[in-house]
A and B are shown apart, each in its own frame.
Chain A
Amino acid sequence: MRAAALALAGVAWLAAGCTQPEAPMARAAPTVLLPVPSDPTIALSVSFGVGSQDDPPDKEGLAYLTGEMLATAATERNAYEDIIDALYPIASNYSITVDKEISTLTGRTHRDNIDVFFELLADAYLRPAFDATDFERVKSDAINYLENTLRYASDEELGKAALTQAIFAGTPYAHPVQGTVAGLRNITLEDVAAFYARYYTAANVTLGLAGGYDAALVDRFEATRAALPQGTAPPDPVIDPPDWDGTEVVLVDKPAADASISLGFPLDLQRGERDFYALWVANSWLGEHRNQAGRLFQVIRGARGLNYGNYSYLEAFPAGGQRMMPPVNVARRHQIYEIWIRTLPNNQAHFALRAAIRELRELIAGGMTAEEFELTRAFLDKYVLHFAETTAERLGYAIDDRFYGIADPGHLQRFRETLAELTLDEVNAALQRHLRYDNLKIAIVTGDADRLRTALIANTASPIEYESPKPPALLAEDAGIAEFALDIGPGQVTIVPVAEIFAR
């Protein structure tokens, strides 16, 4: 009964409408269609196979600026302020998500207004004007984001960006999607136009349409593909992150900052693979995003109150501080297994870091218990229904399914089906195969870099004191955490002044 009700409740959409072949990265394949006749709104998605991995050396940020010049700038037919005026009374908007590998223009409108909206959206990717005044604004905003916001007003995102840079050092994945300061300064409007001509082509686009649309709109939408230059889908650059030996640490030295920590390593799994889904279960138990039941949350915040939250991830989760559910359209060929320890006092950073890595070790070594496995499985079976409650979110998943080559009925439904079959042994074996607690990269934004460096290298004990009495079992556990060895050698800690990070 419970299962039947749930099927009616949430799964219908998972199985509905979407027809697509199993063909990895088959851009320029048929349009992704998700008809929802009862939905009075229409969602559109135009996803190009281009991202920051395609930025030329010394022009990091070119993919980002190009995307923004489509989504927040003039077209050949309309000045940007006229576009804003036209979108205003229909309460609609389009925007672009530029990520490492794909750039996805999305918009949603009420079907009363689809004609007005569709023309504006189509103009954005077919007829960008590359106006010089718009370019000046978009470029200056991007530079300000790196120089002011990321470096000085967003320590947690900075920590994550520093981790990505450390793990993918020397590859086109290393720099932030927004670029580097020097790269952005180097970029000209001519670069943007040439980049657009190369990558924004019929051969390199995936179209998606969802909601209460009609057949005529499908035809009009598909005609825009024909209006793009045919082009070719350029080959994806090789991303081969360097190996390293022993745990390495980057300390981003930011005066007066508390500690914001991210750590991880490259993960050799993709959604669609059975082990990915097995690992999903274990990772959810360890650190489901923004969930109080996660083990890391319980150990560091729940029992000890050290910070606001602690989570772990199998896939990129940008802007984690601003969202509850995973984002769409950040599909990547390469992922990081990542643990995020939210901001805490510098004098507790070493302890929290040890606690997190120790939990990771315990999970890999001991596996989940049968009870934990069953509870987490029950949780995820319903929780994933919240990942894509809206038509636009479902479309986002369907577009990403194209990227990963996942056929009907798609990633989320495949996960739920696999979840029903998985065994505890499979999950625990996947943990052993894919996760590790040594040879990590760690990034810490901190105002106490020198002391922390010394303590990490010397493996100094890091006991903490509490405001309140704690149970003996917790204090005993603390003693183990405070001396937990991280094996970080003197040559394995780098200090980067915050003013220099992402400079070039």
Chain B
Amino acid sequence: MLRSLALILGIVYVTTGTHAQQAATGGRLIAFPTHAETLDNGLKTIVISMPGSGLVSYWSIVRTGSRDEFEPGRTGFAHFFEHMMFRGTDRYPADDYNQILTGIGASRNAYTTDDLTAYHFSIAAEDLALVMDLESDRFQNLAYSEADFRTEAGAVYGEYRKNVTSPFFVLYEAVMATAFNVHTYGHTTMGYEADIAAMPTMYDYSLDFFARYYRPENTILLIVGDIEAPPTMNLVREYYGSWQPGYVPPKITPEPVQAEARNVAVNYAGRSLPILAVAYKFDAFDPSNRLRVAADLLTEMAFGATSDIYKQLVLDEQLVEFLAADPGLNRDPGLLDIYTRIKDPSRIDAVLATIDATTERFKTTLVAPADLDALKSRLRYGFLMGLETPDAVARGLARSVAVSGGLEGIEALYRAYETISPEDIRAAAERYLDPNRRTIGVLRAQP
């Protein structure tokens, strides 16, 4: 749900940067002391020390999301597991688990996206060992009855019902299904509705899913806050050392190269202004792929808050309510997409033509160096201002850690951002903003 939520909130993802940090820390992205270590069973742990706050943000990141749901009729299970993980173990049944976490005033939640499932806690530093005991137990020993499983399936269906009241979700679901014919990115994190409805009958499959994916080699602990690495790692070894490996990778079919433009029209049962989505095929996250790196900056310069098209469509002509573009940070090739809500249903084509004119201009014209510098400054200060609390740091890093397997990927990405030139941005536009490799989605309310 991360992407669609970002759309709703109008968030553009390229918002973190690090140049000042690098100066202060000898070229490292994170200014705070960091420690990464992998246990013999494959469990990787990243510890980031932020002294003084008294708080710890504790993240268990499973590198499985809806991407890993490759079997027909089984979509939505990664998200479903996010729910089942709160159903307890023999040692800590759900009520006990809840009672213990309640007693320490933990702020806790979990979320699922295409590439990951994250379980996170914000706690007082003194409660770290207790939380590690609980978390290591449920990741190794989750036990739930078929009756609990069926009950939770009802709650998941409730979440789907809540989401489909949003036209953004409905359009997003249709665009993904159209853009991906074989890859699992074709379904959203919620899964297909028919699969969600059938979930109560799939108890045995759920046990398989857990056994395959909830393994140490497929999980990363990200622990940020008022802690030091050596004692924290001692706890990790104590609580997680006996976790048995056994990860079975999903059999995901790569999406063939798209040769022609695709279109999808959505008739929305409620009332809504039209929403237009333009989604280009994009590359997987790879900080060594220079054009992929440049495309992050291209997206912001072409469609961000200071772009010409934003000024034209949002501020001057006021044809649209908002314009949001997102270069997907994904493990497999995903989408670079643009979403906008159009005030006058008769002007959809005009808005699309303006988007096309923008993409053509970026393919032929170099951006001004001063504009590129302004973006790099924005990245720098955006990053610095984001380092406010342990939870903010962990939240900001979780996706890149899951997608790339550690902190190195995001560090390399930000180093690469510094080297991007106007020529790179033009080349990225040529490479990615290809009209034959896009899906256009239009949501209209039923007349």
Name A residues whose Cβ lies closer than 8 Å to a Cβ of B.
2, 5-6, 8-10, 38, 40-41, 80-81, 84-85, 88-92, 108-110, 112-113, 133-134, 136-137, 140-141, 144, 147-148, 151-156, 254-258, 290-293, 301-308, 321-322, 324-325, 342-345, 375-376, 378-386, 389-391, 466-470
Q: Bound complex: CA of A60 vs CA of B403, how far in Å?
A: 48
A375-B155 Cα distance, complex, nearest whole Å:
26
Chain B residue numbers with a CB within 8 Å of A10 are 54-55, 124
Top 8 closest A-B pairs, CB basis?
Answer: A9-B54, A382-B105, A305-B154, A468-B150, A383-B105, A91-B382, A305-B151, A91-B381
Q: Are B158 and A306 in contact (CB under 8 A)?
A: yes
Nearest CB on A from B347, distance (A)? 13
Contact between A5 and B122, CB atoms less than 8 A apart? no
Partner of A110, one of B125, B273, B381: B381
Residue of B nearest to A285 (CB): B102
Contacts of B343 in A (CB 8 A): 140, 144
Q: In the bound complex, what is the Cα–Cα distance between A108 and B384 (angstroms)?
A: 12
Among the 9-residue stretches B229-237, B310-318, B359-367, the one with 4 or more Cβ atoms under 8 Å from chain A is B310-318
Residue pairs across A and B with Cβ atoms less than 8 A apart, 15 shown, are: A10-B55, A41-B385, A84-B305, A92-B385, A110-B384, A137-B315, A152-B167, A257-B165, A291-B102, A293-B102, A301-B158, A383-B106, A386-B107, A389-B122, A389-B389
A174 to B192, CA, bound (A): 40
Interchain CA distance A108-B385 in the complex, whole Å: 9
Q: Are the CB atoms of A91 and B311 closer together than 8 Å?
A: no
Interface contact A303-B155, CB-CB below 8 Å: no
Interface centre among B98, B146, B316, B392 (most CB of A within 10 A): B98
- Contact A90 B321, CB 8 Å, known A6-B54, A108-B385: no
From B99, B155, B305, A308 is in contact (CB under 8 Å) with: B155
> Which residues between 360 and 390 of chain B lie within 8 Å of chain A, taking CB atoms?
373-375, 377-382, 384-385, 388-389
Write out the residue numbers on chain B whose beta carbons fall within 8 Å of the beta carbon of A88.
Answer: 305-306, 374-375, 378
Q: A89-B378, A140-B318 are in contact. List 15 more A-B contacts (CB 8 A).
A: A5-B54, A9-B55, A10-B124, A41-B388, A84-B306, A92-B381, A110-B381, A144-B321, A152-B271, A256-B270, A293-B101, A343-B165, A376-B102, A378-B102, A468-B151
Residues of B contacting A91 in the complex (Cβ-Cβ under 8 angstroms): 15, 17, 377-382, 385
Residues of B within 8 A of A (CB): 9, 15, 17, 52-55, 86, 94, 98-99, 101-107, 109, 122-126, 146-147, 149-155, 158-159, 161-162, 165-168, 200, 226, 269-273, 305-306, 311, 314-316, 318, 321, 343, 373-375, 377-382, 384-385, 388-389, 391-392, 445
Residue of chain A at shortest CB distance from B343: A140
Rounded to whole angstroms, the CA-CA distance of A492 and B122 in the bound complex is 45
Chain A residues contacting B101 (CB-CB under 8 Å) are: 293
Q: Which of B103, B165, B306 contacts A85 (CB 8 A)?
A: B306
* Smallest CB gap from A258: residue in B: B161
Q: Is the CB of A467 within 8 A of B162?
A: no
* Contact residues in A for B109 (Cβ distance below 8 Å): 290, 324
CA distance A343 to B9 in the complex (A): 21
Q: How far is the CB of B374 from chain A (nearest CB, A)?
A: 4
A382 touches which of B94, B104, B445 (Cβ 8 Å): B104
In the complex, what residues of B have CB within 8 A of residue A302's CB? Answer: 94
A256 & B269 in contact (Cβ 8 Å cutoff): yes
Cβ–Cβ contact A154 & B165, under 8 A: yes
Taking CB atoms, residues of chain B closer than 8 Å to A6 are 54, 124, 126
Q: Indicate whether A9 sits within 8 Å of B158 (C-beta atoms), given known contacts A148-B271, A256-B269, A379-B105.
A: no
Please determine whether B321 and A304 come into contact, CB atoms closer than 8 angstroms. no
Whether B147 lies near A470 (C-beta < 8 A) is yes
A386 to B122, CA, bound (A): 8
Contacts of A385 on B, CB cut-off 8 Å? Answer: 55, 105, 124
The interface residues of chain A lying within 8 Å CB-to-CB of B445 are 152
A308 close to B271 (CB less than 8 A): no
Q: Which residue of A lies closest to B101 (CB)?
A: A293
A369 to chain B, nearest CB (A): 13
Assess the A468–B200 pair: CB atoms within 8 A: yes
A2-B126, A293-B102, A375-B103 in contact; A153/B165 too (CB < 8 A)? yes
Choose from B86, B150, B272 the contact partner of A305 (Cβ within 8 Å): B150
Q: A10-B55, A375-B103 are in contact. Are A90 and B377 (CB under 8 A)?
A: yes
Q: A383 to B272, Cβ gap below 8 A?
A: no
* Residue contact B105 to A375, C-beta cutoff 8 Å: no
A133-B316, A467-B154 known; A153 and B272 CB under 8 Å? yes
B118 CB, nearest partner CB in chain A, Å: 14
Q: Is the CB of A304 within 8 A of B154?
A: yes
- The distance in angstroms between the C-alpha atoms of A108 and B388, with both chains bound, is 12
Alpha-carbon separation in the docked complex, A390 to B392 (Å): 10
Name the distance in Å between A33's Cβ and chain B's nearest Cβ.
19
Is the CB–CB distance between B158 and A469 below 8 Å?
no
Is the pair A469, B147 in contact by a Cβ cutoff of 8 Å?
yes
Contacts of B385 in A (CB 8 A): 41, 91-92, 108-110
Tell me the complex Cα distance, A381–B127, Å: 14
Return chain A residues, CB-CB under 8 Å to B379: 91
Q: How far is the CA of A349 from the CA of B290 in the complex (A)?
A: 54
**Among A80, A90, A382, A391, residue most surrounded by chain B Cβ atoms (within 10 Å):** A382
User: In the complex the two chains form, is A152's CB within 8 Å of B270's CB?
Assistant: yes
Considering the complex, give the chain A residue whose CB is closest to the CB of B158: A307
Tell me if B105 and A89 are in contact (CB < 8 A): no
Q: Are A308 and B98 in contact (CB under 8 A)?
A: no
Whole-angstrom distance from the CB of B277 to the nearest CB of chain A?
Answer: 16
Min CB gap B164→A, angstroms: 9
B residues near A344, Cβ cutoff 8 Å = 158, 161
Given contacts A91-B385, A343-B165, A468-B146, whether A380 and B377 have CB atoms under 8 Å apart is no
A380-B272 in contact (CB<8A): no
Contact A148/B384 with A133-B316, A308-B159, A378-B103 known, Cβ cut-off 8 Å: no
CA distance A376 to B159 in the complex (A): 27
B105 touches A345 (CB 8 A): no
CA distance A417 to B336 in the complex (A): 51
Query: Complex formed: what's the CA distance from A321 to B226 in Å?
Result: 30
- Complexed CA–CA distance, A389 and B162 (Å): 29
CB <8 Å contact, B126 and A343: no
Please give, as numbers and ranges, the residues of chain A lying within 8 Å of B162 by CB-CB distance: 156, 307-308, 321, 342-343
**Are A293 and B99 CB-contacts (below 8 A) given A148-B272, A386-B107?**
yes
| Nearest Cβ on chain A to B292's Cβ, whole angstroms | 23
Q: Bound state CA distance, A410 and B109, in angstroms?
A: 28
A154 to B151, CA, bound (A): 26
User: Given that A88-B378, A133-B316, A379-B102 are known contacts, is A153 also in contact with B166, CB under 8 Å in the complex?
Assistant: yes
What are the residues of chain B within 8 A of A2 when measuring CB–CB?
126
* Cβ–Cβ contact A305 & B318, under 8 A: no
Give min CB distance, B60 to chain A, whole Å. Answer: 17
Q: Roughly how many angstroms separate A290 CA and B343 CA in the complex, as a whole number?
A: 34
CB nearest neighbor in A for B147: A468
Partner of A40, one of B98, B153, B154, B384: B384
Question: How far does the alpha carbon of A152 sit from the alpha carbon of B445 in the complex, in Å?
Answer: 10
Evaluate whether A113 and B381 lie within 8 angstroms (CB atoms) in the complex, with A144-B273, A386-B122 already known.
Answer: yes
Within the complex, what minimum Cβ distance (angstroms) separates B219 from chain A?
Answer: 22
Chain B residue numbers with a CB within 8 Å of A389 are 53, 55, 122, 388-389, 391
In angstroms, Cα B106 to Cα A381, docked, is 10
- Which chain B residues lie closer than 8 Å to A305 at the CB level? 150-155, 158
Query: How far does the Cβ of B431 sit from chain A's closest Cβ, in whole Å?
Result: 25
Q: What residues of chain A lie closer than 8 Å to B200, measured between beta carbons?
A: 467-468
Contacts of B55 in A (CB 8 A): 9-10, 385, 389
Residues of B within 8 A of A256 (CB): 269-270
